Structure 1
Amino acid sequence: MPGTVLITGCNRGIGLEMTRQFAADGWRVFATCRDPAQAGGLHALEGEYPQLEVHQLDVTDYDQMAQLAEKLGDQPLDILVSNAGYYGPKGTLFGRVDREEWRKVLEANTIAPYMLAETFCDNVAASERKVIAVLSSKVGSIADNSSGGGYIYRSSKTAVNQVVKSLSVDLRERGISVIALHPGWVKTDMGGPNALISAEESATGLRGVMLGAGMDLSGHFMNYDGSEIPW
């Protein structure tokens, strides 16, 4: 049965495609992005699906996040998807790390997903499905790191994986399943043209994992194809 989902970072890429797929399946979708005025693709979907609402949200603006929570009130959220993120500068090899950019990436990729969960956990707890999904990345897997480098983005995703694990423990009594998701290497602005899969394939897989995310998956790091990734 369709439910209600809130997704961040919906102006393009995986977020936009997830929005389209959920809406096409009859879900009520709260889709957020930093600048709705520039999100032409998102507004096109809004015109096509009456149960889709677009809201402005910079996930690092916690006052704005609180205002959105106030707007939604006690609206149950079956799935809360922390999708918005920031890659930061490329080529962050040893000796070439920009500390200020590192702080920005940690804010967007690690602190903001925690704040999203804290802000909307009551809405999730009031729903039937009770799922919080955080878009992580396989490059955050310590066990999988054999190439080094990537200090900024890697560390932000490793850190958010720990956030997911702690949330899964702290929210278990409320029946909320919290999972970390790897979307694959996706042909988006972030993934680039040489990536292996389309946003459609990634979103389809991610939705399948989220829709099957009972308490047995809570605290796990899952690939978009349903396989588990080592921490």
Structure 2
Amino acid sequence: MRIVITGANRGIGLELARRYLERGDHVDAGVRNPAAASELAALGQAASGRLRVLACDVEDDASVRAFAAALGDVTVDVLFNNAGVMGKWLSLADLDFEDVLRTFNTNTVGTLRVTSALLPHLRRSTTRKIVNMSSRMGSIADNTSGGAYAYRTSKAALNMASKTMAVDLRDEHFTVIALHPDWVKTDMGGPEAPMTVEDAVAGILALVDRISRTESGGFYHFRGDTIPW
């Protein structure tokens, strides 16, 4: 299979690339600055040409179009829209609206940019899976603590985008899900997170392998539990 992963230079994205390469798959890794992606470069040395590290800034239309063009005429089986930012955690009175817009642009609009640009590649596949990295913090029903306006709203909007993609692409036999990877020890999640990257990605791979078209349009924890919208 051929896997495309955005935000693949660290954390969950990097571990996804590592695991898929270990399985023998081909990986196209989208990162803002390929020259600085040293850990990906190290993976590539042992991957026998199965890894390509390509520039992709999901916040920028031209960068995403160039990324799609650089893929060439390959078939993409699974797309992980993994690139994301946390945004500033500020009170309602102190919100930085430029930061709110940037967070929304990355987490929500960035996913739309990449998916739209890669539709021709995905349509060549019979697998046609799109995995949008969301968060339980985007669940309206689960919000009991408030705060984190930029991050919460961007992920709630991403959930709606995921559901809409699933509806619009249903007749083409796509599987589209919003996925909560748990609170993971990454640069974004911080050192106090209870879940290791390795355990989270093992669960993500197992879910993505078994998820079917009948489950498209759902919001899932990586263990397979449905999360309320």
| Global fold match (TM > 0.5) | yes
Aligned to 2:108: 110
Counterparts of 2:208 and 2:73, CA distance in 1: 22
- TM (norm. structure 2) is 0.97
Flag structure 2 segments of 5+ consecutive residues without an equivalent.
none
Counterparts of 1:111 and 1:211, CA distance in 2: 26
Aligned to 1:141: 139
Give aligned-pair identity as a percent: 39
The question of whether the paired residues in 2 share the 8 Å contact of 1:82 and 1:113 is answered with yes
The question of whether the paired residues in 1 share the 8 Å contact of 2:54 and 2:70 is answered with no
The question of whether the paired residues in 2 share the 8 Å contact of 1:125 and 1:175 is answered with no
Counterparts of 1:214 and 1:74, CA distance in 2: 26
SS at match of 1:161: helix
Aligned to 1:62: 61
Structure 2 letter corresponding to 1:48:
A
Matches within 5 A, 1:149-164: 149-164=147-162
Query: How far off its partner does 1:109 sit?
Result: 0.4
The question of whether the paired residues in 2 share the 8 Å contact of 1:177 and 1:219 is answered with yes
The question of whether the paired residues in 2 share the 8 Å contact of 1:178 and 1:219 is answered with yes
- Map Cα deviations across residues 71-99 of structure 1 (whole Å, 9 max, x no partner): 22331111010000011113x22212111
Query: How far off its partner does 1:208 sit?
Result: 1.3
Are residue 32 (structure 1) and residue 34 (structure 2) matched? no
SS at match of 1:206: helix
The question of whether the paired residues in 2 share the 8 Å contact of 1:9 and 1:15 is answered with yes
Counterparts of 2:51 and 2:30, CA distance in 1: 11
The question of whether the paired residues in 1 share the 8 Å contact of 2:2 and 2:76 is answered with yes
Matches within 5 A, 1:1-231: 3-50=1-48, 51-90=50-89, 92-231=90-229
Structure 1 letter corresponding to 2:60:
D
Counterparts of 2:38 and 2:82, CA distance in 1: 19
Flag structure 1 segments of 5+ consecutive residues without an equivalent.
none
Counterparts of 1:140 and 1:147, CA distance in 2: 12
Query: How far off its partner does 1:136 sit?
Result: 0.3
The question of whether the paired residues in 1 share the 8 Å contact of 2:179 and 2:221 is answered with yes
Query: What's the C-alpha RMSD, in Å, of the aligned pairs?
Result: 0.9
Query: How far off its partner does 1:32 sit?
Result: 1.2
Counterparts of 1:213 and 1:61, CA distance in 2: 31
Structure 2 letter corresponding to 1:186:
V
Query: How far off its partner does 1:218 sit?
Result: 0.7
- Map Cα deviations across residues 93-141 of structure 1 (whole Å, 9 max, x no partner): 2212111100000000010101111111121121121101000000000
